[in-house]
Amino acid sequence: MPLSEHEQRILAELEESLMRHDPRFAERVRTRTVDQHAGRKCRLAVLGFLAGLAVLVVFYSQSVVLGLVGVALMFGSAVVLEKNLRRLGKASWHDLTRARRSGEQQAGIEHAFDGTREWLRTHLFRRDR
């Protein structure tokens, strides 16, 4: 839905105010995307998971508490990774389902199994048996 003239004017004023008060932040917001942000967090989560695994392996034999700290670090990193992978995957999933709904092309995993589905129908579910 397009914005009204009043809403466009308010949005322009907000952008101008942001540029005046914090130009560095405004530039970062303008140039970065959600995918870049989520991708960076995924990389950091993988590094955190590996660090937690290293802490677990190295310190578990010496101290169970430090081993549990490693496990907690691994768990927290896995949660952050899963959250950001979902954020990255939402755009792709919406693109696939939008193409399917609009009838432009058949996309996704269903398209990959069409030949198999037809073969199963003709060979396994024959009526002439």
Reading the chain (129 residues) residue by residue, the pLDDT tens digits are 688 889 889 988 888 888 888 888 878 777 776 677 778 888 999 999 999 999 999 998 899 999 999 999 999 999 999 988 888 776 555 544 554 455 444 445 555 556 666 666 676 666 555
Query: Which pTM does this prediction carry?
Result: 0.52
Q: Give dist(CA 65, CA 77) in Å, integer.
A: 18
Residue 127 neighbours by CB distance under 10 Å = 4
List Cα–Cα distances, 72 to 57, 65, 123, in angstroms. 13, 10, 52
User: In degrees, to the nearest 5, what angle opens at C-alpha 125 toward C-alphas 106 and 127?
Assistant: 125
Q: Where are the domains of the chain?
A: 1-31, 34-124
**Paired tokens of 68:** 């549990």
Q: Give dist(CA 20, CA 120) in Å, integer.
A: 65
The predicted pLDDT at position 96 comes to 43
Q: Give dist(CA 95, CA 107) in Å, integer.
A: 9
